[in-house]
Chains A and B, each alone.
Chain A
């Protein structure tokens, strides 16, 4: 997951690496995703990775929708 100056820079980078265009997030979306993903304290005994359902639900809540964000 990389940061780019603009959409135009993403297009150019994808062409250079011969990769299809992926998904883009605004800084605010990225920050909210980071807060939700890394918020739960990983030192706690009851911490566990999110299930597929929980992760997909989180993506939906952050308006990250479509095939790209499916986990199965």
Chain B
């Protein structure tokens, strides 16, 4: 019987290692190649990690949509660091990318209501920027009912 726990830990570590290196998570085939395991095993691990709310998958392909705070697809939350530019899933996650990298960064986004450009800077662990307020529309206990909308 396969040790799923050990496999899932290796896949999780690989996904975040790659995401931290380049700003977006790997696809299934890439993960399988890096870990030298069959792609079916990665598919299963992605599914289990998604069930455990560690990853969010794209519904059709089963590829990663979110390895929070990183997004695999473009979003309105661009994080610019000295290493690369990448996308966060929301403003919390954009700040989360900077927190994970522990680096100075700029976040380029816009007001969700009027579309005006907004830029935040994180320098030496302090955040500043255009006037801004973060709004959580969904109560915490309902976040995972529809995490993409949240």
List A residues at the B interface (Cβ < 8 Å). 1-7, 9-10, 12-14, 16-17, 19, 22-31, 33-35, 37-39, 41-45, 47, 49, 55, 59, 67-72
Contact = CB atoms under 8 A, between A and B. Distances in A.
Interface stretch (B28-36, B38-46, B56-64, B88-96): B88-96
Contacts of B1: none
A70 B141 contact: yes
16 contacts: A5-B130, A5-B132, A22-B135, A22-B138, A24-B134, A29-B134, A30-B91, A37-B96, A38-B96, A38-B99, A41-B16, A43-B17, A44-B13, A68-B140, A70-B139, A70-B141
A6 B100 contact: no
**Per DSSP, are chain B's interface residues mostly helix, strand or loop, or mixed?**
mixed
Interface of B: 9, 12-13, 16-17, 20, 52-54, 68-69, 90-93, 95-100, 109-114, 116, 118, 120, 122, 127-141, 150
Contact of B134 (A13, A16, A25): A25
Contact of A1 (B52, B100, B111, B136): B136
Nearest to A71: B141
Nearest to B18: A43
A4 B135 contact: yes
Contacts of B110: 3
A31 B112 contact: no
For the complex of A and B, the 4 pairs showing the least CB-CB separation, nearest first, are A34-B95, A2-B112, A38-B96, A9-B113
Contacts of B139: 22, 67-70
A69 B54 CA distance: 20
